[in-house]
A = this chain, B = another copy of it.
Amino acid sequence: MANRIRVTVWNEFVHEKKDAEVKKVYPKGIHEAIAEHLRAQPDMDVRTATLDQPSQGLSDEVLEKTDVLIWWAHMAHGDVDDKLAAKVRDRVHKGMGLIPLHSAHMSKPFLLLMGTSGALKWREDGKAEILWVTKPGHPITAGINDHFVLPHEEMYGEHFDIPEPDELIFISWFGGGEVFRSGCTWKRGAGSVFYFRPGHETFPTYFDKNVRAVIANGVRWAAPCGAPPVTYWHFKSILEK
């Protein structure tokens, strides 16, 4: 894979502008905190995009030139254009990787690709989250110890209404008694989806060493790998040639 991976980090970029507490943690926006680490990777070309830009940050051209799309959103799910959400889904079908983070479990593109409600339990208590690796040896957990701790996070709890993951990568523990499938992969068409839970806007999660390593691993895992186009619809028997 000599080709560099073209990553677009998309962020609704609303909390950081409205909420002083969030702005303090992510002065340049969540997207920049994520992009910063990816730009330091030797095999990635990284751009950012936000909801307030023309075409909501994702023109057809940008989408076409994106190998892996990272998606952070929360308050503004409803503002994302239905047509854009459908385009993201279709690009995944054609091979693009998608990494929905944290509250993107309710984002339009993720729900379109899953076919479930994405519902879960939550509580903003800012206590510790412990992430346990359930898939050692998987590319997404490369270099990650068998668990790591985030000192302050929002709680997400089961039941998480998702399709049975193709691969379950992490399970999270929360001090209130809850557990959560916090790293999950699925294939959709020729594309790959990696949902990764951590990242509440009021905590510096995207500066955490392990979270950053997992996201970079996830980008490499989700990158397209050169699938020739598939023939669909009416088909003449290959035996008749």
Residues of chain A having any CB pair with chain B under 8 Å: 89-90, 93, 95, 112-117, 119-123, 125, 130, 132-139, 141-147, 149, 155, 157-161, 163-164, 166-168, 171-173, 175-179, 181, 186-192, 224-228, 230-240
Contact = CB atoms under 8 A, between A and B. Distances in A.
Nearest 3 CB-CB pairings of A with B = A137-B190, A176-B237, A121-B235
Given A115-B113, A141-B227, A161-B93, A173 B177 contact: yes
Contacts of A117: 90, 93, 189
Contact of A123 (B132, B192, B231, B235): B235
B158 A132 contact: yes
B163 A187 contact: yes
A236 to B, nearest CB: 7
29 contacts: A93-B161, A117-B189, A119-B233, A130-B179, A132-B158, A132-B178, A132-B179, A133-B230, A134-B159, A135-B164, A136-B190, A137-B189, A137-B227, A138-B187, A138-B225, A141-B227, A142-B227, A143-B226, A145-B228, A158-B171, A159-B230, A164-B186, A172-B179, A173-B173, A173-B178, A173-B179, A176-B238, A177-B239, A179-B179
Contacts of A177: 130, 173, 237-239
A161 B233 CA distance: 11
A235 B180 CA distance: 13
Nearest to A220: B1
Contacts of A191: 137
B233 A137 contact: no
